[in-house]
Amino acid sequence: MFNIEEELKRLPEQPGVYLMKDVSGHIIYVGKAINLKNRVRQYFRASKNHSIKVIKMVQHIVSFEYIITRSEVEALVLECNLIKKYNPKYNIRLKDDKQYPYIKLTVQEPFPRMMIVRQMKKDGAKYFGPYTDAKAMWEIADVVKQTWKLRTCTRNLPKDIDKERACLNYHIGKCDAPCVSSGIKKADYDKIVEEVQSFLMGKYTEVIKNLKAKMEEASENLEFEKAAMYRDQMAAIQKVEQKQNAVASSMADQDVIAFAKSPEDTLIQVYFVRQGKLVGREHFFLQGTEDETIENIFRDFVVQFYADATFVPKEIMIERVPAELEVLESYLTAKRGTKVQLITPQKGNKQGLMQLASKNAEVTLGQFGDQIKKEHQRTQGALKEIQEALGLSEIPYRMEAYDISNTQGIQSVGGMVVFEDGKPKKSDYRKFKIKSIIGPNDYGSMEEVLTRRFERYQTEQSENSFTKLPDLLLMDGGKGQVHIAEKVLSKYNLNVEVCGMVKDDYHRTKALLYKGEEIVLPIHGEGFKLITRVQDEVHRFSIEYHKKLRSKAQVQSLLDEIPGVGKERKKKLILHFKGIEQLRQASVDEISKIEGIPESVAYNIYNYFHQN
């Protein structure tokens, strides 16, 4: 029997993290402390300073546990990770898993390429972003592609120079072919890369000046087509420049964080300033913050927002000095690798930018606050209906649904979709290619899928979709599928509620099968609509994956019969044409343009499809 008074006496006077639990053993709050004994004891002492939220939380605490750390910064990191993992009811939670895109220039390569990525790595490349507006980012990338002839291939240059002929991009004027000795030389290619870097850094005036000089030279040489091309390129760059106003006289990278608060909720507005230009903004709606000070809200926001950030600027401007400022700066400095400062500007351009962000936060809260709240109430209402219909002790915040798809047992696959807080979380979706089951055995296939999923839950160390346990497991099927799920969960000693999603004769959602009983939800209720969305989504996800594999297998089996098509050429044809119909309709010329496919083999492929 857990005795809180006895456990309080045993608490160490060291930094660490504490986890409060309710009667069901669920973690309802995670906190950190520089002195565990003093901090945890404060919750159980009568005090007028306790907020309503703390008073309500203490009433539900039945037990707690703690983890000792070596420093307060280490405790801060651990606290953040545990909040993400357990999603405690009484913590401020930042429900955002977006990874913003970057434009990457591989300057560590002798002949650099440009690509779009969502993670920064310490690989020597140069990254530009993040871009919260993906449309604006693609406009910038398109300008680069239209203006400069950077290579897009993955050849290892200069090692692979002259090993193969120049690709199609060279012949259509999109690349200057550094892959062949007759193509562009490295010194000239480096000049192109320098211009691209200047453009991506926002030095538009310098780039336009260079293009104007080229345009005038081409015009003097009576090369009017080339001059017109440079003119169009300048116009495209000027269009981008007009959309990006300089907001800082320095060329520094900064994040600007402001807020707007209603009695119950808080909206945080973040401006992303890169190279002195505003490249995007994002807002985050935090609910149930009525009992929290803005200093604590900022502290929790900064920790959770930068926990998954791929880039931390050296200067973060923040509207209100957050709680535990020095600890936060140490945490961010460790994450960045160099000094990071959190500042609250009082005058000058920086204060003007902060006021702009603050004003926009107020406007956004007014525009979207009610809308976001209504959407949240709708999804929460749906989850509440499901909770009450099944008699669950907690709202099923995370739901995972599973389905199997195959054609008479061929190319069997499994699909896993995840809904968190009533909304799909696509970053956690997973596909499974069935390995151990041969033939049309849906139960065996489902057992393999669930075994692989929950085996990884117990063995994975890194934070990903498999290290989170669902509150509710939804099986696309009846008693058989539910029984399989219960069998696998029992094998791993996991306590997760399981439901079957039963369909009617028309293959539409009918009811939930829970503990051997069919539970019919009101057909016009939000709970029924949510279950229908989940069932349709997992079915769609599994079917799409199955079709993709089936199409690829069909192409592979046919290609095996064509003379001259081996393993490597087969791979190139599949990657290029995707499906059998696209390849069947291709001409000899279209096939031979693929790198590594000689004209003679292209004729063999064409003749195979048109003679058979």
**Two tokens at 543?**
């079917």
Residue 424 pairs with which residues in a beta bridge? 419
CA distance 561 to 554: 12
Give the chain's domains with CATH numbers.
4-86 (3.40.1440.10), 108-243 (no CATH), 254-368 (3.30.420.10), 398-550 (3.30.420.340), 560-611 (1.10.150.20)
DSSP codes joined into one string, 203-236: -HHHHHHHHHHHHHHHHHTT-HHHHHHHHHHHHH
pTM of structure: 0.56
DSSP state of 246: B
| Three-state secondary structure call for residue 187 | helix
Residue 103 pairs with which residues in a beta bridge? 116, 128
CA distance 423 to 399: 10
Amino acid 589: pLDDT: 84
**Two tokens at 526?**
């939000």
Sign of the C-alpha dihedral computed for residues 424, 425, 428 and 429 taken in this order:
positive
| Three-state secondary structure call for residue 544 | helix
Amino acid 558: pLDDT: 66
Conformation bin of residue 315: beta by default, left when phi > 0, alpha when psi is -120 to 50: beta
Amino acid 553: pLDDT: 58
CA distance 413 to 442: 10
**Two tokens at 577?**
């044409």
| Cα pseudo-dihedral 289, 290, 295, 298, rounded to 10 | 20
Q: Which residues of the chain have pLDDT under 50?
A: 246
